[in-house]
Amino acid sequence: MRAYLGKCLLPDAPHVRRMVLYLGLCLLSNIIMGGEIMNQPNTRRKPEIGLLAVLVAIADTGTVSAAADQLSLSQPAVSHALRRLRDITGDRLFERSGRIMVPTVCAASLVEQARRVIDEANVILRAQTFDPRTGAPVWRISAPEYALWAFGIPLLRALRAINPAARVNFACAGPHTIDDLLASRIDLAFWGDPRDPRLGSQIVLSELCREHYIGVMCRSHPLAARSAANELDLETWLAWDHVMLTTQTPGRSIIDRTLMALGRSRSIGMASSSHRLNLECIKGSTWLLALPSRLMPVVDPDAHITFTLPLDSIGYPYFLMHHRHRGNDPALVFMRKLIGEVCDPTAASQVG
């Protein structure tokens, strides 16, 4: 069966896609015929785990033994699968660097496509109904510091109330986030800027909420009394140095774009990539800080004063993004809905 399919479908495909397609057909034909990819019985392995899964596992773990543990296979079975992969592709696939197996250029390209094939096969083979109250499902979500504090903690509480065995593995957000989403290393990602030029047609952005900034200063700041009385004007606010959040997204912040439209700018005394660090830095200082309103719970009321910024309506959208080809995955549909309800507690619909 696989020889026939390969003969019919492979000749016109590019080299790398041809190898991935062949491996995928091996996987699907073995599932259809009820066989094992390794041609040996193994009751522990799920039927969708095959040569592609072995390839990805070795790339992720760096060793045959660790890949075997990850896949619940014996080490000889994984070694046998690697030999078959090398025979099929005509490439070494992995070279040793010390104790770690490093993917070749060919393997690196294969792995990224193999992840997508495995994800799509799992969606096809998985029951199209998903019950979040059963089993121990795991989601991989990329979240910057803001999203962890604003949404991560309430999300975990809501998920635990539905299924104590369910888990979310949060990954640090960074310049790799979009690549991780496209390669299915993560399932979802919180995202702040829809103007990011790295976003492509395969990324779907869903608006979660509208966020706005509040002002924060130390309680000993000379402007404390005026800010508490809501008497702080733009000129006075701009006369003092500010603390700014740095992000991985290129371009100016919404605050600086708003000031630029007014022909004004602020003086930056310090910048960091952490909201919590910025809050600590303004303690005992005369620096001023603009903080997303949903981070109010991390403000220390004994050390800080919050106030309304003297700028008109500085609001911005915040998003959740997913890969387009996984849009109908029942588990991800559930998680996107749950995150939406956590971000909007007034939502009428119930989850679970």
pLDDT at 101 exceeding the cut of 90: yes
Question: Which residue range(s) make up the domain with 280?
Answer: 211-315
Q: Which ranges constitute the DSSP H helices of the chain?
A: 2-9, 15-32, 51-61, 64-71, 75-89, 105-125, 145-147, 153-162, 177-182, 224-228, 234-238, 254-261, 275-281, 330-343
Does one domain contain both 82 and 65?
Answer: yes
Does one domain contain both 176 and 252?
Answer: no
Q: Which of left, alpha, beta for 165 (phi over 0: left; psi -120 to 50: alpha)? A: alpha
Does one domain contain both 118 and 40?
Answer: yes
Nearest to 50 by CA among 28, 79, 33: 28
Report the alpha-carbon distance of residue 274 to residue 292 in Å, rounded: 12
pLDDT at 288 exceeding the cut of 90: yes
Q: What is the mean pLDDT of residues 319-330?
A: 91
pLDDT at 20 exceeding the cut of 70: no
CB 91 within 8 A of CB 107: yes
Residue 350 is assigned to a structural domain of this protein:
no
Q: What is the mean pLDDT of residues 198-203?
A: 86
The predicted pLDDT at position 249 comes to: 65
The predicted pLDDT at position 124 comes to: 66
Q: How many domains does the chain have?
A: 3
Lowest-confidence region among 15-29, 131-145, 271-285 = 15-29
Q: Across the chain, how many H-helices and E-strands are there?
A: 14, 11
Does one domain contain both 191 and 310?
Answer: no
Residue 65 is assigned to a structural domain of this protein:
yes
Q: What is the mean pLDDT of residues 293-300?
A: 93
Lowest-confidence region among 154-163, 248-257, 279-288 = 248-257
Does one domain contain both 204 and 327?
Answer: yes
pLDDT at 19 exceeding the cut of 60: no
Residue 238 is assigned to a structural domain of this protein:
yes
Q: What is the mean pLDDT of the chain?
A: 82
In DSSP terms, which residues pair with 212 in a beta bridge? 315
Q: What is the mean pLDDT of residues 82-109?
A: 90
3-state secondary structure of 199: coil
Q: What is the mean pLDDT of residues 85-97?
A: 91
Does one domain contain both 227 and 282?
Answer: yes
Element (H, E) at 168: strand 167-172
Does one domain contain both 77 and 47?
Answer: yes
Report the alpha-carbon distance of residue 260 to residue 128 in Å, rounded: 50
Does one domain contain both 246 and 280?
Answer: yes
Report the alpha-carbon distance of residue 36 to residue 23 in Å, rounded: 13
Q: How many CA atoms lie within 13 A of 145 on its CB side?
A: 15
Q: How many CA atoms lie within 13 A of 221 on its CB side?
A: 29
Does one domain contain both 73 and 168?
Answer: no
CATH code, domain carrying 276: 3.40.190.10
Q: What is the mean pLDDT of residues 52-69?
A: 91
CATH code, domain carrying 86: 1.10.10.10
Residue 351 is assigned to a structural domain of this protein:
no
Alpha carbon 186 to its chain centroid, in Å, reads: 5
Report the alpha-carbon distance of residue 198 to residue 275 in Å, rounded: 24
Does one domain contain both 8 and 120?
Answer: yes
